[in-house]
Amino acid sequence: MKTKIAYLAVIIIWATTPLAIKWSSEGVGFLFGITTRMILGLIVSTIFIHILGRRMPWHRGAVATYLAGGLGIYTAMTCVYWGSQYIPSGWVSVVFGLSPIITGAMATKMLAEDALSTHRIIGIGFGFIGLVVVFGHGLSIGPEFLYGVTAVLLGTTFHALSAVLIKRIDANIGGFALTAGGLSVAVPLLVATWLIADGAAPAEIPLRALLSIIYLGIIASAIGFTLYYYILRRMSVSRVSLIALITPILALMLGNILNGEPLSRAILLGAASIVFGLVVYQYGQSVTARLRNLSH
């Protein structure tokens, strides 16, 4: 039951995060937004560890896990934040929805979870078609849209690689410790990147941006990362990445309702193709088996 509740919470957090990311960069820049978010997340997760009376493990496996998690946070989130400047928040979630396919392909090689069967290849095909629709839509809008989609796709790949590496190391570390350890790696890198690329603090932080940073730092980072690592330890990588099957639809709706983002036919078609590809990828074999049993 705890795992199911954590799973549901991660779905809600992931669905609201793209819009919060977009709002958190308004008037302050994406590097300031992501850096302050992760600093706040590190502070809160460290406080939680002390309140719970736990200790950060520092054995070899733990350090390797922190590096895998931290580098994943730094690379994936930097790409996503930069890309979100140029595309609607709902599209961030749609492109990120490809993570189950990317994760599954990596897990096949690195974790030997499952071979790529026929239904999975078909699922990858539909996911690719959806991505083609996304890029085709971008061509009609302008090069910045394509830059944004490409950056988010790259961030999705880094996120998938980080998840598979953490699962492969399997150091059996608690969620708060893993979050704090990963952020301990990511925060110095983000601060250095911000200082080199910008380094100027905004004179004023808009209220919506401030609230979004606080939400992302406490809920999406300290709590969200912890819950994500919690379920990652208790489920297969492929099943955890199914969260991305649901979040694109919710994120598109939130972006449309709360941020006035358009839902064109191309957007809906691309999202539907990606989601359908994920369904075939994950459930094609079980559905085929049931149909065969019914026919007999």
Give the total residue count for the chain: 296
Task: Give the pLDDT score at 293.
Answer: 65
Task: Give the pLDDT score at 291.
Answer: 57
Torsion angle (degrees, nearest 10) of CA 101, 274, 287, 241? 40
Task: Give the pLDDT score at 66.
Answer: 96
Number of folded domains that form the chain:
1
Whether residue 47 contacts residue 121, with contact meaning beta carbons closer than 8 Å, is answered with: no
Q: Give the tokens for residue 137.
A: 């839509």
Residue 53 pLDDT greater than 80, yes or no: yes
Could you report the per-residue pLDDT of 271-288, keeping only the tens digit for each?
888 888 877 877 776 666
Residue 239 pLDDT greater than 80, yes or no: no
Q: Cα–Cα distance between 133 and 233 in angstroms, integer?
A: 35
Could you report the per-residue pLDDT of 192-201, keeping only the tens digit for each?
999 999 888 8
Residue 296 pLDDT greater than 60, yes or no: no
Distances (CA, A) of 38 to 22, 154, 215, 223: 15, 20, 11, 12
Could you report the per-residue pLDDT of 93-119, keeping only the tens digit for each?
888 878 877 887 888 777 766 656 777
Per mean pLDDT, which range of 33-37, 116-120, 268-272 is the poorest?
Answer: 116-120
Q: Cα–Cα distance between 124 and 116 in angstroms, integer?
A: 10
| Mean predicted confidence (pLDDT) in 236-256 | 79
| Mean predicted confidence (pLDDT) in 50-76 | 93
Could you report the per-residue pLDDT of 154-176, keeping only the tens digit for each?
999 999 999 899 988 988 888 78
User: For 25, phi and psi rounded to 5 degrees?
Assistant: -95, -5
Domain containing 262: what range?
2-295
